[in-house]
Amino acid sequence: MIKIFGSYYYYPLLCATKCFIMEENKYLNDLHEIRQMMRKSTLFLSLSGLSGVLAGVYALIGAAVVYKLLQHHYLYYPYVIIESKTFKAIIAVALLVLVASVLTAYLFSMRKAKRNGEKLITPTAKRAFYNFALPLLTGGALCILLINNGHYGLLAPMTLIFYGLACVNVSKYTFGDVHYLGITEIVLGLLAVYFLGYGLLFWTLGFGVCHVLYGGIMHFKYERAPEPPKEDNPQKE
């Protein structure tokens, strides 16, 4: 018999308690692994935070170029019309930013998937893409109709609102932080409708600043590998 804290316990009872604790920890670890496997099978986790940062940088550069184009245009003309070279240049810059952002997201996601030993194209990825693309394509169609009807001032707000809806819609199949990005984009889009004439400013905040902040948070929260604990160097005797 062993005396512990002033009381006597049989040694077999102590061994049984220890074995029970070990088995419980094993079951908890198994449950954690099963939960991780289910999470990977139901969520698209190959999104890269760094691609979000770069998309924001592309948007900031594009916004700066558009601002310069508008400043030069307003020196000679009071309005921007669809037939003007300035409008066509703005659309070209926007498309260039879009293509660069999509290509960057694809390359970084593919690299992350390979690093984690996963496939990029999975049924979950397809569901995520569908739920993201549907609001986005709807917003794109609406923007084309707005251009045809001459409502240029609503282009920036509509792109923000529908992009935000796409982020909220896809957040069910990926990181939950995307949901908050979507809400932020929607709020900025509504503010851009209220403060007409400041569309470029809100567009810069939504697609530029918010993407840089979101991408940085995602990178440090999910992707940055924790630093190994530092070992104390043994002192020489």
Supply φ then ψ for residue 46, to 5 degrees.
Answer: -95, 5
Q: Is 41 helix (H, G, I), strand (E, B) or coil?
A: helix
CA 40 – CA 118 distance, rounded (Å): 9
Residue 166: name the closest of 215, 189, 133 by CA.
Answer: 133
Give the model confidence (pLDDT) of 72-119 as tens digits: 999 988 888 888 899 999 999 999 999 999 999 899 888 888 887 777
Backbone angles phi, psi at 7, to 5 degrees: -120, 155
For residues 22 and 188, which has the higher predicted lDDT (pLDDT)? 188
Beta-bridge partner residues of 9: 2
How big, in percent rounded to 5, are the helix, strand and coil portions of the chain? 75, 5, 20
pLDDT, averaged across the chain = 80
User: Residue 125: CA atoms inside 13 Å, Cβ hemisphere, count?
Assistant: 12
pTM for this predicted structure: 0.77
- The amino acid that residue 210 corresponds to is C
Over the stretch 118-154, which tens digit does the pLDDT of each residue have?
777 888 888 888 999 999 999 999 999 998 888 888 9
Whose structure tokens read 């810059």?
93
203: closest CA among 191, 215, 216, 217?
Answer: 191
